[in-house]
Structure 1
Amino acid sequence: MENNTFSVGDEVTLKSEGRKVRVEFGPFTTQMGTQAYVIKHLDGLHAGKSATVNGRSLERGPKFAVGDDVLVLPLDTPGKVEAGPFLGRSQATFYVVKYASGTHIWVDEVALKPVLAARLNTFSFRGTEYDLNATYVDRDGDTWTFNGRVSLTGVPRMDCERLACTGPYQDRTLTTVVGAYGPLTKQD
C-alpha cells in the first residue's frame, strides 16, 4: 500500500469524486489513528467548501494539463502543453510542449514550470507603479500591454501591440521593456 503525504497548498484529486481539491491543513492523526487532511473543493457542487478526509482518499494528479502555459528550463522558454503526461522508460513523467515557433519538444516534467497569471493589478519598478490593465507607450511610440503571464520571479510579461512587433517583442518582462525601451507612458 502506497503512503502518500501531501503538503498544505498541494492540489490533488479526491478519488471518490474525481475532483480537484486543495490541501488546507494536515496531515494529522485522527482519534481512530488514521491520517487525515482538511481539504477545500476547487470545482463541482462543493466548490469553495472545506471537508476533512482520510489521506488514502487523495491522490496526486498530473502536474500539467493539455493547454497549460509553461516555461521550459533552463531558459524559461514559453510553451504550451500539447499532450501528456506520458511515462518514459526511466519512469519519469514527460509532456509534449509546443513553442510559439510551432516546434514541438518532448520534456521531462521536472524541466517545466507553470506560468501563473499575476494576482495583482499593479506592479512597482524603480519607484513607478504600473497599472497592468493599462496600455503603455514607449519612447519609440510602440504600445505595450500586460499579457497575463509573469516570470518565475513574479515580474509581469508584456507584449508589443504594433503589427511589426514580433519575435523578441512578445512576452518580455516589464523590467526589460522599461530598461530597453523606456520610459513608458500610460496611454489614456
Structure 2
Amino acid sequence: MTEFKAGDKVNHRAYGAGEITYGPFRGAFIETAYLTRFGNGRERVVNVEALTAFPAFAVGDEADYFPGAVFSYPGTRVRLVAGPFKSEHHDTAIWVVEKANGTHMTPTENALRKVDEPAPDTYTHGGVTYDLTASYRDTDGDVWKFKRFDTGVRGEYGYYNWDDVSRYSPLMSSVVDNHGPLERVDN
C-alpha cells in the first residue's frame, strides 16, 4: 500500500488528478482513506487503493497510456516526445506521445503512468510467457518470429517472412492455440 501526505499530487482511477489535503485516516467503510481535492475544487474521501502517485514526466520518458484513465487493463506503451502543454479542453496537461508503430497522439497526463524500467519484450498467453526476441517452433516444425504492434503480438513463420511481420500478420495467441505448444529455438 502506498502512503501519501498532505500536498502530494495523486491520480484517482475515476476522478483523475488531485491533491491530498488530509490523511491517512480510517473511513466509515474504508480501511485507509484520504481527503483529496480534485480539479473542480471539491474534496472527496477516497480509498487509498484508488490512488496512484502522480507521475512527474519528462520528454523521452516511457509511459503506459490508458484511454479514459481506466487503469484496470494493460496500457499501451508510449514514449513522450513533447510537452507538457496546456489544453483548451482539459484542466490536465497534455503530452505528445509516440506509439510503437510510429503514430502520435496527445493524451492527458492523468491517462499516463510512468514506466520506471524498460518492460521486457514478453507476451503471456495461457499461462506461458514468451520472449519476443526469440524464435519458436510450432508442432508442424515451422519456425516463427513475433513482434508487438498496437493491434497485438503478431508473427510470421519461415526465415524468408521474418522481415514481413506486420500488424496484419497472425496473432500470437492464434498461433499458440492452433499450432502450439511452441518450443523456443536458439537464434
Q: Report the TM range for the smaller structure's normalisation.
A: 0.3 to 0.5
TM-score, reference length from structure 2: 0.43
TM-score, reference length from structure 1: 0.43
Give the number of the structure with larger relative contact order, counting CA–CA contacts within 8 Å between residues 6 or more apart. Answer: 2
